[in-house]
Structure 1
């Protein structure tokens, strides 16, 4: 865990650890982030610093016994809570089990740290159980709650925490970081596209730029250039497995959004800077056709993310069928 590897995290880390150094750290910290912006690295480093037995520096010493236990993933006063496998939420039993532990004496004689990942996944009962602990926190016990910036959490939890939003770096800084730290052979337009598709989160963009993944996107765009003039979305369906559809929805909606920008003569704001030909093709559609397609695909994404047990393949097939209906209607 080196901040030098993620330069955009240096200032947030300094801001959050200053209170630790001055012995006035808030007992409950809520961190919201854009996924892939280095959030796990930042939070682990904060937790390490809270557990470190040194009190003279911003970063952990990495040498004391507590730091050694943390680095070995074996610290007895460090708890990480996340939804259990095959479960969509963090249940009340997990929080109750945690509450019984945090009131016990620290095994290392120092601080205790509890990190609740994807905190918005807590059920209402679990959140209310945690609320009681946050209202009367045990001595030398620190809570870190984290989740994505668009997650929903109970206002009562918000009110008991110090909230902090982890900003993503500027586009130019992220492009420079990708060039400097990774052996990438992409153009600036491709790097910018990957970042913009990832809400400018550098680590998510880096994952998208992995050769196999980036090639999948290129093939998807190439197939669109062929299938769109023919209005043959079923042909497009043959080019990828339905399990990959969520990602394709994001890619296609970004292209449709770019087409609207192109029609409004604000092309400098487009996301898919490496797919100008495809964006121009979509921009020949009417406003009504573009927005109808966008709404259709976005609705499918919401269904796939929020409704359990639905036949995913059936949803995908319906989207392609309805896309052809929309294309024939305008």
Structure 2
């Protein structure tokens, strides 16, 4: 069971599953999460429990016919809606199709569950179409909408749902959990850095700690140790592809933020705990220069994420050249 693999999900699951047992579950749950906190596994287990027809406990029985269908990914009363491949949004046709299904009789004689994954990707028309179903939900039909905590969902959808934020575990708990996965591969400062760079989301930290990815970050930091004193940011262009630049922006901005913390004597709050020498080096710059670099790199991230058709290499080169101007 996922509760054994991801122990921090145990209490949140108990809180929501207890409503299922006592038949007090809201017909529409909105799960907000920090990506990489086990959100998909959490929603999947809730859906499994709603569809289970035998269990009197918090967890699904995993043995009844309904559970077996769910575990084999062929449950006829379970629907997952998300953006289709190559599309950036969830369209109205997808919602209309599912809206017709939910008013049909349950094929297994139990509940029907519809999971709208990354719900904020619904177009306004799709969201309004879903709203009509949420206002007059069919009997024994449950909707689970999920998306990141900072996503933008129509207020009208929010108002029809019971909202629940899936919390990330405390840093100390996550470090212990990561230690079991990585044994002695990383020290506590490295594990803490990976978690803090990942908004404390354990599964996101696991991805960052993959040897190739972690080595890329280490090399990037090592190169910064060389280029910052010489104000030779142009040399960074050799160390990554333009496709990787957004990731480097996140890493560099976190280091710049840490440098400001160090200057304010609040070093205990720094994120890059494994890169203290680099943070101290950046902290030798003035507040104005650190802030200017931060704004420059962050602006480039916004451009890369929101404006299509941009020449990414030109943006990278411009940021590196402007960084040298700032000094």
Determine if contact 1:178/1:184 at 8 Å carries over to the other structure: no
Report Cα offsets for 1:246-287 as digits up to 9, x if no partner: 111110000000000000000111000110110001001111
**1: CA distance, partners of 2:324 / 2:166:** 41
1:170 is aligned to 170
Determine if contact 1:258/1:270 at 8 Å carries over to the other structure: yes
2:258 is aligned to 258
- Give the secondary structure class of the aligned counterpart of 2:200: coil
Q: Compute the displacement of 1:184 (Å).
A: 4.5
2:191 is aligned to 191
- Give the secondary structure class of the aligned counterpart of 1:274: coil
- Give the secondary structure class of the aligned counterpart of 2:74: coil
- Give the secondary structure class of the aligned counterpart of 1:180: helix
1:71 is aligned to 71
Determine if contact 2:55/2:61 at 8 Å carries over to the other structure: no
**1: CA distance, partners of 2:219 / 2:182:** 24
Q: Compute the displacement of 1:55 (Å).
A: 4.1
Number of residues paired by the alignment? 327
1:229 is aligned to 229
2:241 is aligned to 241
Determine if contact 2:13/2:42 at 8 Å carries over to the other structure: yes
Runs of 4+ in 1 over 4 A off after TM superposition: none
- Give the secondary structure class of the aligned counterpart of 2:260: helix
1:17 is aligned to 17
TM-score, normalised to structure 2, is 0.98
The residue correspondences of 1:60-99 to structure 2 (distance < 5 A) are 60-99=60-99
**1: CA distance, partners of 2:107 / 2:307:** 43
Structure 2: which 5+ runs fail to align? none
TM-score, normalised to structure 1, is 0.97
2:320 is aligned to 320
**2: CA distance, partners of 1:20 / 1:134:** 18
1:137 is aligned to 137
- Give the secondary structure class of the aligned counterpart of 2:70: helix
Structure 1: which 5+ runs fail to align? none
Task: Classify 1:226/1:182 alpha carbon distance in 2 versus 1 (closer, same or farther; 3 Å).
Answer: closer
